Amino acid sequence: MRCPHCGSFDDKVIESRTLANGDSIRRRRECIGCGYRFTSYERIEEKQLMVIKRDGRRQPFDRTKIEHGIERALEKRPFSTMTIENIVNEIEDQAVMAGKGSREISSAMLGELVLAKLYQVDKVAYIRFASVYRHFGNLEEFIAEVNKVEGEHGSEH
């Protein structure tokens, strides 16, 4: 693998760790040339899952889009990079299972999977993501969603 620091193709694997129930491997590598350490990920690639956009267009599922949305929602919240990685893995697994037959999933269903997971993990992140995803038209819609979460959260105690 090419070193991102010096460009050398000579490296060694220092540590390998299985992630996402065996669906991916995280490898810590060290460049033999310059000593720079970096991480690589290895995943099984199956037939590409397609996302059906609201306007009917289809585009390949892009894990990084989900990851960025979740990272923004969880920004300044007490979650490690590894936890975020696991959340994204779970959402990706759910999306693949939902689109199993046709290898397609609607962007609306994908958004709902993210919302459901964030609701389980962190209510603040859920509200952040919902405010962008659901395009609240006015303050009342936003307040209604917060009150819904507060009401359900309050009944847990």
* Co-location of 72 and 118 in the same domain: yes
* Co-location of 91 and 140 in the same domain: yes
Q: What is the pLDDT of residue 133?
A: 76
Find the mean pLDDT for residues 58-87.
92
* Co-location of 19 and 84 in the same domain: no
* Co-location of 18 and 66 in the same domain: no
Find the mean pLDDT for residues 33-58.
89
* Co-location of 12 and 89 in the same domain: no
* Co-location of 51 and 41 in the same domain: no
Among candidate residues 10, 54, 14, the one with its CA nearest the CA of residue 31: 10
pLDDT at 143 over 60: yes
Q: What is the pLDDT of residue 66?
A: 93
Q: What percent of the chain has pLDDT over 90?
A: 56
Count of domains observed in the chain: 2
Which of 10, 27, 45 is at the close of a domain?
45
* Co-location of 55 and 34 in the same domain: no
Tell me 16's DSSP state: E
pLDDT digits (tens, 9 = 90+) for 5-35: 999 999 999 999 888 678 789 999 999 999 9
* Co-location of 109 and 39 in the same domain: no
* Co-location of 52 and 36 in the same domain: no
Among candidate residues 99, 100, 97, the one with its CA nearest the CA of residue 89: 97
Q: Which region among 39-48, 77-86, 110-119 has the lowest average model confidence (pLDDT)? A: 39-48
* Co-location of 75 and 140 in the same domain: yes
Q: What is the pLDDT of residue 157?
A: 40
Domain of 6 in residue numbering reads as: 1-45
Find the mean pLDDT for residues 96-109.
88
* Co-location of 72 and 117 in the same domain: yes
Q: Rounded distance, CA 66 to CA 153, Å?
A: 25
Confidence category of residue 156, pLDDT binned at 50, 70, 90:
very low
What is the pTM (predicted TM-score) of this model?
0.64
* Co-location of 32 and 57 in the same domain: no
